[in-house]
Amino acid sequence: MNATDPTKRVVRARRIQFAYPAGTLARHYVDGDLVTSHAIAFLSATFPEGEDFFVRSVRRCAGEITDPELKSQVQGFIGQEVTHGREHRALNERLQEMGYPTRRWDRTTRRVMARYERFFSPLTCLAITAALEHFTAVFAETLLGDERAQALLGSTEVRSMLLWHAIEESEHRSVAIDVYRAAGGTERRRIWAMRGISIRFATAIVVNTTLSLLGDRAAYNPIRLVRSLAALPRLPFLARAVQRRVGAYTKQGFHPDDTDNTALLQYWTAELFGEKGTLTDHLR
Ligand SMILES: [Fe+2]
Ligand SMILES: [Fe+2]
């Protein structure tokens, strides 16, 4: 398997803005599907507070870094995550108006992150960050690499926004783990953090998606609900290959660059932000 050349890594925040005028998004904006629309709304709601936690965790341990390359990547990482948080807040407000409880999810995420910071050391918070960044990067690269995943989002502004977010998650996927290692983090702590957070993350998605569905009248249509649940095993984000990539994190010596993302990033950067890029008009 090819690896990414770390010297070619560029992490830089784009100044970008999306808009979701009222009436431009259908209630079930993910291909009319119940479960994935609620699940993605939940994930979007957790991003702003989650990404703030990532930034604080990286910042608190970044004092140990001597490598100028990594230092500059940390700055890029912070700029990217701050922009993601701001843009997800805008989307979350729209989703709240459409009936998804994103404000409540946002408050819960803030409480959970504050609890982590109270109970865990800065290095463990960074290990949790690196583990969650791995999840984000694998899902991001699945969206960028699988046409079926892109097709689910149709041609909505949510699709454009998630593609931009996915590019930047792939660009900075190594920053948290590199800072963790530079700060002296052990493999044991890194792997245990992933095991713990995987259970927490999977439970949160299942529980909150279910509760959210209970508040949606459309979910009481048995045919629609059964059809949506039956489609889950075919969801690109739950494919075997994706599960294997997530699981690879618990191997000793794992590094995100073990999987080459160069071609994927080149393609999407040109497609969205090149001369005829479809999102060039969104840049400020
Ligand atoms: Fe992000
Ligand atoms: Fe990230």
pLDDT at 6: 74
Q: In this predicted model, what pLDDT tens digit does every residue of 47-82 receive, in sequence order?
A: 999 999 999 999 999 997 999 999 999 999 999 999
Nearest 5°: CA angle at 70, between 69 and 72?
70
> Which ligand ends up closest to the CA of 88?
1
Q: How many CA atoms lie within 13 Å of 172's alpha carbon, on the beta-carbon side?
A: 34
pLDDT at 154: 85
Buried b (16+ CB within 10 A) or exposed e, 146-181: beebbebbeeebbbbbbbbbbbbbbbbbbbbbbbbb
Q: In this predicted model, what pLDDT tens digit does every residue of 86-114 receive, in sequence order?
A: 999 999 999 999 999 999 999 999 999 99
User: CA–CA separation, 153 vs 162, rounded Å?
Assistant: 9
Q: Considering the entire predicted model, what is its pTM? A: 0.95
* Terminal CA-CA length for the chain: 38
The tokens of 110 are what?
């803030």
206-to-27, 109, 129, 149 alpha-carbon distances in Å = 20, 15, 21, 20
User: CA–CA separation, 82 vs 163, rounded Å?
Assistant: 17
From ligand 1's centre to the CA of 77, what distance in Å? 9
**240, amino acid identity:** R
Least reliable range by pLDDT among 23-27, 39-43, 67-71, 76-80? 23-27
From ligand 1's centre to the CA of 221, what distance in Å? 35
Polymer length of the chain: 284
> Which ligand ends up closest to the CA of 173?
2
3-class DSSP state of 218 = helix
Q: In this predicted model, what pLDDT tens digit does every residue of 143-190 receive, in sequence order?
A: 999 999 999 998 889 999 999 999 999 999 999 999 999 999 999 999
Q: In this predicted model, what pLDDT tens digit does every residue of 186-245 receive, in sequence order?
A: 999 999 999 999 999 999 999 999 999 999 999 999 999 999 999 999 999 999 999 999
pLDDT at 42: 98
From ligand 1's centre to the CA of 182, what distance in Å? 22
Q: How confident is the model at residue 25 (pLDDT cuts 50, 70, 90)?
A: confident
User: CA–CA separation, 138 vs 166, rounded Å?
Assistant: 9
